[in-house]
Amino acid sequence: MRFRMVLVLTAIMMIVIMPLSTVAGTNGILEGIVKDKTSGEPIPGVNVALAELQRGTVTDAGGRFVLQNIRAGRYDVRFSHIGHRAHLLKNVIINPDLRTRLTIELEPTDVELNEITVTQEKPLIQKDITGTTFIVSGEDAMLLPIDNVVDVVRLKAGVTLEGNIRGGKTSEVLYLVDGLPVQDVMGGGISATLPNSSITGLSIYTGGFEPEYGNALSGIVNIVTKTGTNEHRAFARASSDNLFGVRQTSKTNEFEASLSGPIFQNTLYYFGAVNGFLTGTRWWQDFQGVVNTPIDKTISGFAKLEYLFTPTTHLAAQVLYSDHDWRDYEYNWRFDLSGLPPERRTANRIAAIFSQSLSDWFFYTASISRFFYKSKISNLTKDEVAALAPYQYDFLLRYIVSGNRSWRMMNSQESYSGKIDATLKAGDEHLIKFGGELSLYNLNADVIKFEPRKTYFGKPLISEPQLNFSSAYNYRPRSGAVYIQDKIDLSTEEGIMVNVGLRWDFLDPRAQRPAIEAIPVSDSAYTFNVAKMVNAGIKQQISPRFGASMQVSEKSYLFINIGWYFQYPLFDYLYTGLDRVALAKGISAVTGNPDLEPERTQAFEVSYRHILPLELVGSVTYFKKETRNLVDAKTFIPGDSKLAGNFGFAEYVNNPFAEASGIELTLTRERGRWVTGELSYTYMLTEGTSESAQDGFYIAQYGLPPAVRTFPLSWDQRHSAKLLVNIVTPWDLNLFVLSEYHTGRPYTNYPTATGWEPVKGGLFSQNNARMPSYFNADVRIEKILRFDWWSNATVKLFLDIRNVSNDKNVRWVDSNGKVGGELEDPSGYYIGRRTRLGIQAEF
């Protein structure tokens, strides 16, 4: 009954806003004023046209104009008026969720003259972004020495080497494609990749994201895709790191191609792109004779059709596909690599997006999508995996010499989502955005997983029964949200901007949780029993957001943002091990809890940005965030035993606390004929009482004391400095340099001499030491080739060198502080130098 009431309320609110409703983060607004260059007076009746979109409007009595619902990208805007010289403004950038403002001066004339052509420069400071946001164009992303969009995120201030944003876990970042999520809702992280050539731009929110975005604690990454135009365009790229006898190679080959254009001029457009990334990995030599190269294969594709009923009414259909097929490598399995199971992740999404501008002041977008994601480990059947004997170690219990890992997974997640967003410009002061969404999930898990018990130092306890993480479930949860936001501009040109908004979300787990009772069997021991099953309640969350910007001087701005954010726990934490058969047998090492509360963060930031000489922009940002209700596993031990699983009961609970604070300094130059780039420095503190949802379980397994106060988390990189420089030369030779420095991450120094017991007198204290610092530099060099016989083409030869100096950067150490542990595992270091040569053509 409670869910029905919530569902009815959500439906009513969505129906109310439906006629007034853009998919979040794909469209922007172009507005401005046209004046007479001589008198300075506004000019009414000026024609404003975007020929590429067949869109236009006319300035009002005050010389003002507004064009809403413009897809993010770059456009040419033409201004014409009788008695004035025509003006063509090229390269006008429309960013998602933002207003692009223009002030145009037309030159009066009594005779017909050629139009004036001017190239628009990107504003040095975007005044209506009150939180920390980085906007990266698709063209700029293609210049970077990176492999995918996830790599772009870690290049920004406040982001660690592993992709943690402002002290949060990597799973606390929400990834969107055209405003629709591509998340693994069961295991966490992004579930699909896109061809880089299909990307118009990225909006990366590391702080203060607006109420249209939910279910994320640390950051939002919104990827906006390309669409076709009235010109046929083609793109092709290929590269390899295994040419000309290069010794340091991963046998990596990549190809990509895209094609776009009109099917019917001005009416129906197409776009399609495909990418293949094939690599032998850094371990291809060990895999020889076991698995054929490539060891790791990723194929991704994206296609779109867009139909224009009118210049202001669009219908787009898109298909996204991603397939990742690989084998993991573990150094202690190097003599039995065939015993490691193959893995595969496949994702596909189909979506329809309808967008309409009802006036110059109002537009809406409605979308519906189906997303399917499948995770597979092992080609064996369930019976074959269940019959596997534990794999065998050598005499010293260091290497696995025979057997197979007992792990089989066949998980799938299917989601159907409907989404409506609307933007209403109420006068010159208010830009109101509101919308709602509803998602229905179908989650299936079928996991058989046995792991040997180990000491804290990694030595297997071969005489002990294996831990059983097997689980099977099928649940159909539902979630939804509505939000409203008002961007209040107290000065149409410069001054104060206020963003205020509210978001309400709900999640109905549609499951039951076990009520566990302890039954004493002696004075010092007890067993556990499932007394009954209790219905899990509907979880709700209200998240207010507030931001403001203020002009301090002609070139200085102050920004303040405070917000409450939330994220529902991963569905694996809710449902794993809850099937009745598993509960009856007591075989699941950790049991899910569908009554888990949302994880909640309160974040604050203040930023000062100033325009410096040479078109440099400097900024300083202070941020602080506190996160509560994080998920961990609480283990209830029967008697004096240190073992869980069959011998105890472990359940996911809301308990841990984390906090992060820091200062970010950035110096950017986005305009410049020869040199552009970004220099950033971050000082950040990240502490908490737990690092992962399994911390409590394993701490209890090892018989170690749980944390009673906060400690530095393993991604607590105190000092980070990053440099990105793009140098354009007059010889059609471009150079891009990316360099990073990070101080060492924490690890737990808890020495052992035997691998079973700590050294005498050793005290366990989590993350009480630090690894060495990290430094890396990557370089990309491009040579542009031009041909008189192919004037409409751009051909580039490029050289992409990762880790130029071949530094041996430490990735992990054991409890003795030894890189790579007892076996001196090479994965204890990040990968060395790799050099990739390629060619790219666009025409």
Average pLDDT over residues 135-152: 86
CA separation for the pair 259, 392 (Å, rounded):
52
**637 or 75, which is more confident?**
75
At residue 838, does pLDDT exceed 70? yes
DSSP 613-628: GGGEEEEEEEEEEEEE
* CB-CB contact of 355 with 307 (8 Å): no
CA separation for the pair 9, 6 (Å, rounded):
5
CA separation for the pair 77, 46 (Å, rounded):
12
**12 or 676, which is more confident?**
676
The whole-angstrom distance between residue 635's C-alpha and the CA centroid of its chain comes to: 32
Q: Comparing 56-60, 262-266, 314-318, which segment has the lowest mean pLDDT?
A: 56-60
pLDDT tens for each residue of 184-227 = 999 888 899 999 999 988 889 998 888 999 899 999 999 999 99
Residue 356, CB-side half-sphere exposure with 13 Å CA sphere: 11
Non-local CB neighbours of 577 within 8 Å, separated by 6+ positions: 471, 583, 588, 589, 590, 591, 592
Q: Which residues pair with 721 in a beta bridge?
A: 681, 741
Query: Would you state the pLDDT for residue 646?
Result: 43
CA separation for the pair 714, 745 (Å, rounded):
6
Q: 8 in helix, strand or coil?
A: helix
The sign of the CA dihedral 169, 174, 177, 181 is positive
Q: Which CATH number belongs to the domain containing residue 35 in this structure? A: 2.60.40.1120
Maximum CA pair distance of the chain?
Answer: 105
Query: Would you state the pLDDT for residue 520?
Result: 61
CB atoms within 10 A of CB 107: 13
Average pLDDT over residues 700-720: 88
pLDDT tens for each residue of 338-352 = 999 999 999 999 999
The reply to whether the predicted model has a pTM over 0.75 is yes
Q: Say what percent of the chain tops pLDDT 90.
A: 53
Residue 475 Cα distances to 441, 529, 594, angstroms: 8, 23, 11
Query: Would you state the pLDDT for residue 585?
Result: 56
DSSP 388-418: PPPPEE-TTS-SEEE----EEEEEEEEEEEE
- Token look-up 């100096």 returns 805
Query: Domain end: 119, 152, 187, which one?
Result: 119
Whether residue 635 is found in the same domain as residue 739 = yes
Task: State the Cα angle at 631 between 182 and 751, rounded to 5°.
Answer: 110
**Residue 554 banded pLDDT, cuts 50, 70, 90:** confident
CA separation for the pair 692, 456 (Å, rounded):
16
Query: Would you state the pLDDT for residue 25?
Result: 57
The whole-angstrom distance between residue 587's C-alpha and the CA centroid of its chain comes to: 35
pLDDT tens for each residue of 756-781 = 889 977 788 999 999 999 999 999 99
Whether residue 107 is found in the same domain as residue 169 = no
- Count of H-run helices and E-run strands, the chain: 8, 46
User: Regarding beta strands 173-177 and 219-225, do their DSSP bridges make them parallel or antiparallel, or are they unpaired?
Assistant: parallel
The sign of the CA dihedral 520, 525, 530, 536 is positive
* CB-CB contact of 834 with 252 (8 Å): yes
DSSP 618-681: EEEEEEEEEEES-EEEEEE--TT----GGGSEEEEEE---EEEEEEEEEEEE---SSEEEEEEE
Whether residue 569 is found in the same domain as residue 669 = yes
At residue 176, does pLDDT exceed 50? yes
At residue 62, does pLDDT exceed 90? no
Whether residue 153 is found in the same domain as residue 94 = no
Query: Would you state the pLDDT for residue 79?
Result: 87
Average pLDDT over residues 252-259: 96
pLDDT tens for each residue of 374-412 = 999 999 888 888 778 888 999 989 999 999 999 999 999
Radius of gyration of the chain (CA): 28
Q: Which residues pair with 805 in a beta bridge?
A: none
* CB-CB contact of 780 with 744 (8 Å): no
Whether residue 273 is found in the same domain as residue 409 = yes
Query: Would you state the pLDDT for residue 493?
Result: 55
**Residue 113 banded pLDDT, cuts 50, 70, 90:** low
Query: Domain end: 119, 140, 159, which one?
Result: 119
Which of these, 42, 43, 100, 46, lies nearest to 71 by C-alpha position?
Answer: 100
At residue 72, does pLDDT exceed 90? no
Which of these, 306, 226, 238, lies nearest to 268 by C-alpha position?
Answer: 306
Lookup: tokens for 35: 């004046």
Whether residue 324 is found in the same domain as residue 202 = yes
Which of these, 810, 809, 804, lies nearest to 833 by C-alpha position?
Answer: 804
* Structural domain boundaries, residue 747: 132-842
CB atoms within 10 A of CB 576: 25
Whether residue 109 is found in the same domain as residue 256 = no
Q: Is 65 a member of any domain? A: yes
Whether residue 25 is found in the same domain as residue 172 = no
Q: Is 125 a member of any domain? A: no
The sign of the CA dihedral 771, 772, 773, 776 is negative
Q: Is 490 a member of any domain? A: yes
Q: Is 690 a member of any domain? A: yes
Whether residue 147 is found in the same domain as residue 61 = no
* CB-CB contact of 79 with 37 (8 Å): no
Query: Would you state the pLDDT for residue 4?
Result: 46
Whether residue 535 is found in the same domain as residue 655 = yes
* CB-CB contact of 55 with 27 (8 Å): no
* CB-CB contact of 562 with 497 (8 Å): no
* CB-CB contact of 220 with 174 (8 Å): yes
Which of these, 91, 96, 102, lies nearest to 48 by C-alpha position?
Answer: 102
Query: Would you state the pLDDT for residue 3?
Result: 43
Q: Which CATH number belongs to the domain containing residue 791 in this structure? A: 2.40.170.20
- Token look-up 């049991």 returns 591
- Token look-up 């021991």 returns 525
- Structural domain tally of the chain? 2
At residue 529, does pLDDT exceed 80? no
**Residue 741 banded pLDDT, cuts 50, 70, 90:** very high
**Residue 523 banded pLDDT, cuts 50, 70, 90:** low
Q: How many residues does the chain have?
A: 843
Q: Is 177 a member of any domain? A: yes
pLDDT tens for each residue of 560-591 = 999 999 999 999 999 988 765 555 555 567 88
CA separation for the pair 818, 829 (Å, rounded):
11
Q: 384 in helix, strand or coil?
A: helix
CA separation for the pair 151, 776 (Å, rounded):
14
**Residue 41 banded pLDDT, cuts 50, 70, 90:** confident
* CB-CB contact of 726 with 720 (8 Å): no
Query: Would you state the pLDDT for residue 809?
Result: 96
Q: What is the DSSP letter of 605?
A: E
**For residue 181, cis peptide bond before it (omega within 30 degrees of 0):** no
Query: Would you state the pLDDT for residue 13?
Result: 38
Query: Domain end: 97, 119, 141, which one?
Result: 119
**Residue 822 banded pLDDT, cuts 50, 70, 90:** very high
Average pLDDT over residues 628-651: 63
Please provide the average confidence, as pLDDT, over all residues in the chain: 87
**One-letter amino acid identity for 457?**
F
Whether residue 108 is found in the same domain as residue 147 = no
Q: What is the DSSP letter of 508?
A: E
**Residue 513 banded pLDDT, cuts 50, 70, 90:** confident
Task: State the Cα angle at 267 between 263 and 273, rounded to 5°.
Answer: 45
Dihedral angle computed from the Cα positions of residues 584, 586, 588 and 593, in that order, rounded to the nearest 10 degrees: 70
Q: Is 126 a member of any domain? A: no
Whether residue 150 is found in the same domain as residue 274 = yes
At residue 100, does pLDDT exceed 90? no
Lookup: tokens for 113: 């003259």
Query: Would you state the pLDDT for residue 143?
Result: 84
Q: Comparing 48-57, 206-215, 691-700, 780-789, which segment has the lowest mean pLDDT?
A: 48-57
Query: Would you state the pLDDT for residue 114?
Result: 66
Residue 639 Cα distances to 216, 518, 519, angstroms: 40, 11, 11
**809 or 43, which is more confident?**
809
Q: Which residues pair with 237 in a beta bridge?
A: 256, 840
Q: Is 229 a member of any domain? A: yes
Q: Is 201 a member of any domain? A: yes
